[in-house]
Chains A and B, each alone.
Chain A
Amino acid sequence: MAAETGTPTTLTLKSNDDELFSVAESAAILSVTIRNMVEDGCAGGVIPLDNVDGKTLASVITYMNGISAIPADEEKKKSYRDKFLSDKDFETLADMVLAANYLNMSCLMDAVSAKIAQVMEKKSVGWVRRKFGIENDYTPEEEAAVKEEHKWTFEGVETDDDN
């Protein structure tokens, strides 16, 4: 499987729903998880990524290719990341953050979690509970008391867009 000297090595990645993707090794090793596999010699053949589905992996690979094509210019990389994440919905972002965590890609992890925070910033408490699947374990009295304590933080909250 070893590539000839001078030609770029290509890796094959497999998602948990059995989709196969080809990606240049130089781009794929942005993922520390993949880099470790390559260094340990486990990258011959197909690399199974059991925690990432095909749709998310395709997106991550687009990012890997895009960001590795940019020379060392932090400003340009940042604007690429901003543009890459600008049209992603909340669910996609959540899938991406899980994938970035599993693949150990700190720059993507940082950018996606910042984007999620940006989306959440002006949302209501109810919106956050629904999106994160969190059960309200306050009694109505307790919740009212916590809310009363931080009343000013409920100014300027957006109307929920998920109903």
Chain B
Amino acid sequence: MATEEKRSKTLDHLPQEIIEEILYKLPVKSLFRFKCVSKRWRFLISSKKFAQHHLKKSRTNLSRQKLIILNSDVINRSFRSCSLQTLIENSNVASFDHHRMDLRTVLGSCNGLLLVSVDVRNLILWNPTTRQAKNISPPENRSRYFYSDDFIDGGSFVYGLGYDESTEDYKVVCFFVEYEKPHNTTTTMIYSRRANSWKRVESFEKGFFRLDICGTFVNGKLHWMTEEDKNKRGRWDIVSLDLAEEKYEMVGPPQSRTHYRPRLHDLGGCLSLTSFDRNLDMDVWVMTKKCGEAEYSWTRVWKLCCDMMLYGHRGNTVCPLWLTRIENGDIVFEAKIFVESLVSPFGDQQ
């Protein structure tokens, strides 16, 4: 009995910071259940600060990062996910999470939130882990194509989802490109989760967006690939949009090399580029900025032979499935990944 008493006393006296340290390491499902433990725990788990710390821990935990697997069947659309840890440990993945969402495509992923489209015009900001979803009404648009049924023939959307740390706000960027006018007129709108509305911003005019590719969010900036001439698949560039300042900046791709099927990725918080060479081997580049220098530089971190890769199909081209750097080496590749988080699509609770 004496030891029993002593022991329960020890647990009673776990300092708050240790309890928090333990809770940060729990999955979202357990945390939601443990809101029932006490009012204090509920308050703690619901707080914005807790969600931020939890997200920070989850980002470095492969069990909390999920690969999105979309069923391409048009009639029976479904969405599954599995943890990267499971993928590393066992390539014959058996444990999937099934998500109830009739979605068309995933347009962005940031801090556990996904931007998904359910039909051509309607978007949802969705946290698959907490199962919270918020409809985003489409931006007002004066284009006659936008509201017509056949507007896909006349224009196209390019999206991006990111987080603006300066205002602690999630933003969706939407470029609406109209083909018919001379030079592809682009209308650019930014949606703020906080304001729950769209506003029109200055458009990028130094190139044409690659229409099939969504923005890559790295370090407060969304990145897209652009082309000098929409009719010639040749010279391409990278443009970034700073979500705090809402300013565009050109980011030169790695020089002196021919890149086939270039794609942008977030590799552990750095902008990364994968491209294929003439032998279909893949180069993985990472953009780094030296301390105290303004200029960015590209470093090739890996070269992967094509038989080492696990491919996924996107349109009629192949792209790497998942790309990450783990402590002990070079592992498999990119598709859309989301991290388990408490981040709410509705905004902050306090």
A interface residues, Cβ below 8 angstroms from B: 74-75, 91, 94-95, 97-98, 101, 109, 113-114, 116-118, 120-122, 125, 128-129, 131-138, 143, 146-147, 150, 152-154, 157
Contacts and interface: CB of A to CB of B under 8 A. Distances in A.
A109 B34 CA distance: 22
B319 to A, nearest CB: 30
A97 B22 contact: yes
A122 B34 CA distance: 10
Given A97-B18, A150-B33, A138 B39 contact: yes
Give chain A's interface secondary structure class: helix
B313 interface: no
Contact of B11 (A75, A131, A136, A150): A131
A101 B15 contact: yes
B25 A132 contact: no
A122 B30 contact: yes
Given A128-B34, A129-B37, A153-B30, A95 B12 contact: no
A153 B15 contact: no
Nearest to B23: A117
Contact of A117 (B10, B12, B25, B42): B25
6 contacts: A95-B10, A97-B14, A109-B21, A120-B26, A121-B26, A152-B29
A21 B131 CA distance: 52
A67 to B, nearest CB: 16
Contacts of A132: 11-12, 14, 19, 37
Given A109-B21, A113-B22, A157 B33 contact: yes
Given A94-B14, A113-B21, A121 B27 contact: yes
B85 to A, nearest CB: 13
A125 B34 contact: yes
A74 B328 CA distance: 8
Given A121-B26, A137-B39, A150-B36, 5 more contacts: A91-B7, A120-B22, A121-B27, A133-B11, A136-B38
A153 B33 contact: yes
A159 B12 CA distance: 23
A136 to B, nearest CB: 6
Given A109-B21, A121-B26, A129 B42 contact: no
Given A94-B10, A125-B36, A146-B36, A75 B328 contact: yes
Interface in B29-86: 29-30, 32-42
Contacts of B11: 91, 94, 131-133
Nearest to B328: A75
Contacts of A91: 7, 10-11
A134 B33 CA distance: 15
Contacts of B295: none
User: What are the 4 tightest A-B residue pairs by CB atom distance, in nearest-first order?
Assistant: A133-B12, A117-B25, A153-B33, A153-B32
A128 B37 contact: yes
A153 B29 contact: yes
A69 B29 CA distance: 38
A138 B41 contact: no
